[in-house]
């Protein structure tokens, strides 16, 4: 077993980390306060080549793996989780088109996504059903002449309403109303499609500079060339997208946990109390040692899952362990960092305060901690009932 990055991977990680610390970290607090999506900063991320990492060279990508993309997302999240999640959602959505779309779809829609000059999103969640596809009501009705009409609502969608949003992959029921069982298709929906509108952005606890909003489809007419993958095969593609998002959400929490540890160590060394540094106090030392242990645990779980994907190992149990372990650890370590900072930790201008708010959604989105626990139990051979 090898626990060291290759020279190329280490250089990639260092380059993106240096960029993130120099250009993203210093403005993260201001972005959080304003709650606006940072268009030019996201484009700088694109110029650094982050979005292109897992895409093939013929698409303008670097032709690298999921593992290298995980390193990049971790580095971004160490500076600001909002920009990291915007990046990972666009990356996961673009990869869905790359893996399952037609050549025409790839050539038309991916170049600006791969370059990071535009951003995209995937819309599964609905107001009355969460991520339970069985409860979805958004419907695609076949009109004839190769046309489809989409009507319905989507909720809590990331990246759909920015000034540089290009398209959204919308999951809709495509089987007839009288069908005994619902079947779904995934429709590539351009932002300028008639009948497709974006609601006002949510007021959120965290991820404030990441775009999140409700979507509305009212007789949004698309051609059959908008279907990504096979007709009625969209549910499978959505779950594949969720699996990628789970890994990269783990990476987002890992980067945030590392940042929390960084700040706690620096503050403990600098803060003077009772005639010495805070870091000389044994209980503080114990907290920081526990934080370091948790961060390393999250890193090992996340890196293992990424390595397995690149090496063709299908292990949903390990993927769920990474998502559950890293996201829960992100919250635990951020909370401990707030404690180390004392009263200042409760203030908005203290980074761990923002980290604690930001990471809270990570244990909910893309399969909650409870769902991941059930998936791990099923991977252990237990009879798990998801109904």
For residues 157 and 168, give the distance between their C-alpha atoms in angstroms, rounded to a whole number.
Answer: 9
Give the Cα separation of 306 and 244 in Å (integer).
9
One DSSP character per residue, 210-254 reads S-EEEEEEEEEEEEGGGEESSTTBHHHHHHHHHHHHHHHHHHHHH
Domain with CATH 2.40.110.10 in the chain: 120-232
The count of C-alpha atoms lying within 13 angstroms of the C-alpha of 252, restricted to the half-sphere facing its C-beta, is 30
Q: Where in the chain is the domain with CATH 1.10.540.10?
A: 7-117
pLDDT at residue 180, as a whole number: 86
Q: 2.40.10.10, 2.40.10.220, 1.10.3720.10, 2.40.110.10: which CATH number matches 120-232?
A: 2.40.110.10
Q: What pLDDT, in 10s, does the model give residues 64-107?
A: 999 999 999 999 999 999 999 999 999 999 999 999 999 999 99
* C-alpha dist (Å) from residue 208 to 80, 166, 249: 11, 21, 16
> What CATH class is the domain 236-379?
mainly alpha
- How far is residue 125's CA from residue 165's CA, in Å, rounded to a whole number? 18
Residue 154 near residue 197 (C-beta atoms within 8 A):
no
Instruction: Return d(Cα 116, Cα 110) in angstroms, integer.
Output: 10
Which CATH superfamily groups domain 7-117? Answer: Acyl-CoA dehydrogenase/oxidase, N-terminal domain (1.10.540.10)
Q: What is the pTM of this model?
A: 0.95
Residues of the chain with pLDDT under 70: 387
Q: How far is CA 6 from CA 11, 68, 191, 248, 306, in A?
A: 9, 11, 40, 20, 15
pLDDT on residue 387: 65
| CB-CB contact of 201 with 248 (8 Å) | no
pLDDT at 84: 98
Maximum distance among all alpha carbons in the chain?
Answer: 81
Find all residues with CB under 8 Å of 90, minimum gap 6, and list them: 51, 113, 119, 120, 121, 159
CA-wise closest residue to 243 among 77, 131, 340: 131
Which regions of the chain carry the CATH code 1.20.140.10?
236-379
Is the sign of the CA dihedral 137, 324, 156, 72 positive or negative?
A: negative
Residue 244 has what pLDDT? 85
Distance CA 62, CA 72 (A): 13
| Whole-number Cα distances in Å, 106 to 97, 101, 220, 227, 317 | 7, 6, 22, 12, 31
């Amino acid at each position: 077993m090898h626990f060291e990055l290759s020279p190329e991977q280490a250089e990639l990680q260092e380059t993106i980390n240096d960029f993130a610390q120099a250009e993203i970290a210093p403005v993260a607090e201001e972005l959080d306060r304003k709650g606006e999506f940072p268009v030019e900063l996201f484009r700088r991320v694109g110029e650094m080549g982050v979005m292109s990492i897992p895409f093939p060279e013929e698409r303008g990508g670097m032709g690298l793996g999921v593992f290298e993309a995980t390193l990049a997302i971790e580095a971004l999240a160490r500076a600001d989780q909002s920009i990291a999640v915007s990046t990972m959602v666009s990356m996961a959505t673009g990869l869905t088109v790359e893996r399952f779309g037609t050549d025409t779809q790839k050539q038309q829609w991916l170049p600006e996504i791969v370059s990071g000059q535009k951003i995209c999103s995937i819309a599964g969640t609905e107001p009355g059903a969460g991520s339970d596809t069985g409860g979805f009501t958004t419907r695609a009705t076949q009109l004839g002449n190769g046309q489809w009409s989409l009507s319905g609502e989507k909720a809590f969608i990331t990246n759909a309403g920015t000034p540089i949003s290009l398209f959204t992959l919308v999951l809709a029921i495509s089987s007839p109303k009288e069908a005994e069982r619902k079947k779904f298709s995934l429709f590539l929906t351009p932002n300028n499609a008639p009948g497709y509108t974006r609601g006002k952005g949510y007021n959120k606890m965290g991820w404030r500079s990441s775009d999140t909003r409700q979507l509305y489809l009212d007789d949004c007419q698309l051609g059959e060339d908008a279907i990504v993958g096979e007709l009625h095969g969209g549910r499978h593609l959505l779950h594949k997208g969720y699996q990628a998002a789970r890994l990269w959400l783990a990476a987002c929490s890992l980067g945030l946990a590392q940042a929390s540890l960084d700040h706690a160590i620096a503050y403990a060394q600098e803060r003077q109390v009772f005639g010495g540094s805070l870091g000389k106090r044994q209980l503080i030392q114990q907290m920081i040692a526990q934080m370091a242990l948790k961060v390393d645990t999250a890193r090992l779980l996340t890196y293992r899952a990424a390595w397995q994907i690149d090496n063709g190992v299908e292990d949903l149990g390990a993927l769920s362990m990474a998502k559950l372990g890293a996201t829960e650890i992100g919250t635990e370590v951020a909370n401990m960092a707030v404690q180390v900072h004392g009263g200042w930790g409760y203030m908005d201008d203290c980074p761990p305060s923002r980290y604690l708010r930001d990471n809270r959604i990570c244990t909910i989105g893309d399969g909650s901690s409870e769902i991941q626990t059930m998936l791990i139990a099923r991977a252990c051979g237990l009879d798990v009932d998801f109904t």
